[in-house]
Amino acid sequence: MAGRLSFANITALAPMVRVGTLPMRLLALDYGADVVYCEELIDIKMAQCRRVENEVLQTVDFVAPDDRVMFRTCEKEKQRVVFQMGTADPDRALAVARLVEKDVAAIDVNMGCPKEYSTKGGMGAALLSDPDKIEAILRKLVSGVSVPVTCKIRILPSLEDTLTLARRIEKTGVAAVAVHGRFKDERPRHPVHCDYIGAVARAVAVPVIANGGSLDLVKTHGDIQAFRAAAGASSVMLARAAMWNPSVFRSAGPLPLHDVMIQYLKYALRYDNHAFNSKYCLCQMLRDKVESALGKRVQAAQNNQELSEAFDLVAVFEETQAALEARRDALQSPERRRDHVIAVDGDVTTMALKFQRREYPPQLTPKMFLLEWSRRQKLEQPTYQTVQRAQDRGFQSTVTVENRKYRSSLWEKSKKFAEQASAVVCLRARGIPESRVGQENGGRPHKRKTEDGRDVGQEKRKKQAGDGERETGGS
């Protein structure tokens, strides 16, 4: 089929848990990777997701019921990103593949990761001992989706068994097989078995992607071709070498690590990557320098602004936030605005919203305003009942006012934010002005002004610049 992704003679960013998120994938493509794999995503979690077109970030997000983004992608990588899933169930695998197939270039099944994250429930390397299930999953996917299907395996203790499995996989109709040249119980410190990879490549007609050479064979771009030749494979997939410095994909040679980290962080800011994921990736790049002054600042950072400060990118952070805010404002214009829907869940009035701290003045929160309003109305003080769910430790709060209950249907990261969200629901459901900044324009925050109309933030920055201080602000 025209336009289908080819796996012959390519260099790929390997799937890596917590590393293969959107910023790292885009960076690898910028530096010369032909194909990029996302981190392994578990079918049970993905099957619960809904597909959301994020107009602000210009991404497609797959969002879990608890409002977490499980997978985020964008147009720039659409023709070259491979979605890797962890699965042990053919029907569930197909459901997930059909959910994402219009937004990715191929589907891959993880059959090689030996860690418990992957092997529990019979996924990952656990599948190697169940070739019937491997065949059932792959045949279901190949016949059920319009994009190429691949898989990633480890070698078996017996070369004969490895070749038998590879041939059986080929017959399912997959477009390629990635082979990590280590046994299930071996780790990166063990030498990669290039002879096994080469034997598989000679035994099947589909492209074989060699994996596992980062530690001892691939340290620079020039080593990639040598690994390809040593393994006798069509293509190469890099994990750790790319994690440590994604510019390993550059044919012109690697870039200074500090420059690479800055480019990574710019992507992380642009696509609103979770700060703790960004911090993890940056620490992996720092490696033995993680205890340096820069490394300590990165480890201490709690949000994207503090990560930006560590790299002297405060101006970039502010510009990026302003651009995203401007896009939000445009999308929230009177013509585009979609008000939150008020619903009733039993005896509780609900709305799907989160507490956004930036929308309120520094000294006023929805809880405080609701309390003051209740006092003026001579009502009893609002009471809050908060619960926490076990699977992700999210919080949800219900506020009672005049014997009527209100809560947000979305879960928050803290008890404090959950209570604030329930207060917002109460205020909005009852039509009480909540003193948000810029509420006169539909609730989106405006720049605060001084009495003579000057921008408060701009005046603050001027003063700090005059004092020789760097603005740090709040997140």
CATH code of the domain containing 117? 3.20.20.70
**Residue at which a domain ends, from 312, 338, 364:** 338
Give the 3-state secondary structure percentages of the chain, helix then strand then coil, rounded to 5. 45, 15, 40
Round to whole Å and give the CA distance between 88 and 119. 9
Contact (CB, 8 A) for 144 and 100: no
Round to whole Å and give the CA distance between 231 and 237. 12
At 100-127, the pLDDT tens digits run 999 999 999 999 888 887 888 899 999 9
Closest among 88, 27, 5 to 268, alpha carbons compared: 27
Q: Are residues 210 and 315 in the same domain?
A: no
Closest among 40, 249, 233 to 155, alpha carbons compared: 233
Extract the tokens encoding 189.
């410190």
pLDDT band at 341 (very low <50, low <70, confident <90, very high): low
At 40-95, the pLDDT tens digits run 999 999 999 999 999 889 999 999 988 889 999 999 999 999 999 999 999 999 99
**Residue at which a domain ends, from 231, 252, 273:** 252
Would you give the DSSP letter of residue 471? -
At 276-316, the pLDDT tens digits run 999 999 999 999 999 999 999 999 999 999 999 999 999 99
pLDDT at 27 over 60: yes
CA atoms within 13 A on the CB side of 455: 6
Q: Give a yes or no: residue 4 inside a domain.
A: no
Q: Does pTM surpass 0.75? A: no
* Single-letter amino acid, residue 409: S
Extract the tokens encoding 289.
């320098």
Q: Are residues 239 and 269 in the same domain?
A: no
Find where tokens 């926490």 sit: 388
The CA-based angle 251-256-257, given to 5 degrees, is 105
Q: Which long-range contacts (CB under 8 A, 24 or more apart) does 290-293 make?
A: none
- Backbone conformation region of residue 71, classed left if phi is above 0, alpha if psi is from -120 to 50, else beta: beta
Q: Give a yes or no: residue 83 inside a domain.
A: yes
CA atoms within 13 A on the CB side of 416: 4
pLDDT at 145 over 90: yes
Round to whole Å and give the CA distance between 294 and 312. 11
Q: Are residues 472 and 370 in the same domain?
A: no
Contact (CB, 8 A) for 126 and 119: yes
Q: Give a yes or no: residue 5 inside a domain.
A: no
Q: Are residues 311 and 365 in the same domain?
A: no
Q: Are residues 175 and 82 in the same domain?
A: yes
- Residue 442: per-residue pLDDT: 36
Q: Give a yes or no: residue 260 inside a domain.
A: yes
Q: Could you tell me how far CA 204 lies from the centroid of its own chain?
A: 34
- Residue 332: per-residue pLDDT: 64
pLDDT at 325 over 90: no
Q: Are residues 267 and 212 in the same domain?
A: no
Domain membership of residue 308 as a residue range: 256-338
Average pLDDT over residues 218-226: 93
Round to whole Å and give the CA distance between 323 and 452. 26
Q: Are residues 426 and 470 in the same domain?
A: no
- Residue 120: per-residue pLDDT: 83
Would you give the DSSP letter of residue 59? E
Q: Are residues 309 and 389 in the same domain?
A: no
Q: Are residues 110 and 242 in the same domain?
A: yes
Average pLDDT over residues 206-229: 93
Helix (H/G/I), strand (E/B), else coil: 259: helix
Q: Are residues 349 and 326 in the same domain?
A: no
- Residue 301: per-residue pLDDT: 96
Round to whole Å and give the CA distance between 395 and 414. 6
Would you give the DSSP letter of residue 87? -
Q: Give a yes or no: residue 245 inside a domain.
A: yes
- Residue 451: per-residue pLDDT: 33
Would you give the DSSP letter of residue 246? G
Contact (CB, 8 A) for 82 and 33: no
Q: Give a yes or no: residue 87 inside a domain.
A: yes
Q: Give a yes or no: residue 2 inside a domain.
A: no
- What is the number of structural domains in the chain? 4
Phi and psi (nearest 5°) for 290? Answer: -70, -20
Q: Which residues carry out catalysis?
A: 113
Contact (CB, 8 A) for 70 and 46: yes
What value does the mean pLDDT of the chain take? 88
pLDDT band at 360 (very low <50, low <70, confident <90, very high): confident
Contact (CB, 8 A) for 353 and 421: yes
* Single-letter amino acid, residue 391: Q
pLDDT band at 342 (very low <50, low <70, confident <90, very high): confident
Q: Give a yes or no: residue 373 inside a domain.
A: yes
Q: Are residues 183 and 278 in the same domain?
A: no
Say how many residues make up the chain: 475
Percent of the residues in the chain that have a pLDDT greater than 70, as a whole number: 88
* Single-letter amino acid, residue 131: P
Closest among 462, 464, 433, 455 to 360, alpha carbons compared: 433
**Residue at which a domain ends, from 284, 309, 338:** 338
pLDDT at 392 over 80: no
Q: Are residues 271 and 305 in the same domain?
A: yes
Average pLDDT over residues 1-15: 88
- Residue 429: per-residue pLDDT: 86
